[in-house]
Chain A
Amino acid sequence: MTNLKNWQMPVFITFLLLGLLITVQFRSQQNYLRDLPQQKTEDLILMLKKTNTKKAELEKELGDLERQHRLISTNVSEEETLIKQLRQDITRQKMALGIIPVKGPGITVTIDTPIAYFDMIDIINELWNSQAEAIAINNHRVSSWSKIYWSEQTRALTIDGEAVAFPCTIKATGDPEKLDSGLHLSGGVLDNLDIYGINPKIKKEKELELHAANQPNIEHLKATPTP
């Protein structure tokens, strides 16, 4: 060995390259063995079993979640239906109270000459009696808290502090036939007015629009529990 001094560099290079080759080959062989086709059948079966179990678990979870989703959706739609019903109820109550504008079939009663306040009350009462659903005098909505009286100060027929101008038009929604026949009852309010030569014109309408009344005063009211 002593008489060969130049051996070290070539041997170093050779072994360096050898080490490089070995690591590269080692790595690629490890990757190759990790490939699915190189696995043992038993291992593959085990992997398949595990994957199948996992799949079954996930499918079960999916089913549970879908059921939950359906349940929640049903609840939501039930709530939505409830809210819709409540809104409809509120609208119906408001229409009945007269605090929102309404429209519908009915009749108009046009009176050219001034009449007494009790005659006006008689007409309104007769209309309510004939199952009128909403009434307005000269576009002033008649509500359950409306006052119809003779004002001494303005010397005018007054409703809720507003003088009624003549010719006056009374609008009433409901069944036009019923309302008409209610007013035309013999010995009724029209017959009574006829004595004084007052003949209101009655016209059936397919659609009437009525304004809203003012908000009612409910400062001291409290609801009693319904049985």
Chain B
Amino acid sequence: MWVPILGLVIGLVIGSVLNVPIPGAYAKYLSIAVLAALDSAFGGVKSIFDEKFNAAILLTGFFTNALLAALLAYLGDQLGVDLYLAAVFAFGVRLFQNLAIIRRELLSRWIDNRKIAKAKRDNHD
């Protein structure tokens, strides 16, 4: 449960310490890559709850989605088509869906745990 949060915190700390400079022109592509990475990460968490987790799919999806999103946005800029909007839409929609599923799973687990605890207490009484 705490593994993703711990990883996130360590990543944030490393990023703050390293202070990698990115030219302003590439900030847009990096933002799309971040969105894709967010989607992959939460997709990974969702798959754990669905009990369909696969490490290879998570890691390849994380990198390829981020790279492809940035490349697509770049290509869109070169062609004069706002392709990054498609990436924002696709990843954004899926991100919210995944977050909703994670939220529901966590909620139902919490409620189940409470029911079990209550039943245990009742049995003791």
Task: Say how far A5's CB is from chain B's closest CB, in angstroms.
Answer: 10
One of A3, A8, A10, A19 near B11 (C-beta < 8 A): A19
- Determine whether the beta carbon of A18 is less than 8 Å from that of B51: no
- Determine whether the beta carbon of B12 is less than 8 Å from that of A22: yes
Q: Chain B binding site: helix, strand, loop or mixed by DSSP?
A: helix
Query: Which one of B22-30, B71-79, B86-94, B115-123 is at the interface?
Result: B22-30
- Determine whether the beta carbon of A18 is less than 8 Å from that of B11: yes
Task: Say how far A201's CB is from chain B's closest CB, in angstroms.
Answer: 102
One of B13, B20, B44 near A14 (C-beta < 8 A): B44
- Interface size bracket, A side: 20 to 34
- Determine whether the beta carbon of A23 is less than 8 Å from that of B16: yes
Interface centre among A12, A13, A19, A35 (most CB of B within 10 A): A19
> B34: CB under 8 A from chain A?
yes
Q: How far is the CA of A22 from the CA of B66 in the complex (A)?
A: 12
Query: Which one of A24-32, A129-137, A170-178 is at the interface?
Result: A24-32
Which B5-23 residues sit within 8 Å CB-CB of chain A?
Answer: 5-16, 18-23
The answer to whether A4 and B51 touch (CB under 8 A), given A18-B37, A21-B33, is yes
- Determine whether the beta carbon of B44 is less than 8 Å from that of A16: no
Contacts of B51 in A (CB 8 A): 1, 3-4
Q: How far is the CA of A206 from the CA of B10 in the complex (A)?
A: 104
Which A34-89 residues sit within 8 Å CB-CB of chain B?
Answer: 35
- Determine whether the beta carbon of A11 is less than 8 Å from that of B19: no
> B97: CB under 8 A from chain A?
no
One of B3, B8, B21 near A8 (C-beta < 8 A): B3
- A residues with CB within 8 A of B: 1, 3-4, 6-25, 27-29, 31-32, 35
23 pairs, CB–CB < 8 Å, chain A vs chain B: A7-B53, A9-B55, A10-B59, A11-B4, A11-B48, A12-B7, A13-B7, A14-B44, A16-B10, A16-B11, A17-B62, A18-B11, A19-B11, A21-B15, A21-B33, A22-B34, A24-B20, A24-B22, A25-B31, A28-B23, A28-B24, A28-B26, A31-B21
- B residues with CB within 8 A of A: 3-16, 18-24, 26-27, 30-31, 33-34, 37-38, 40-41, 44-45, 48-49, 51, 53, 55, 58-59, 62, 66
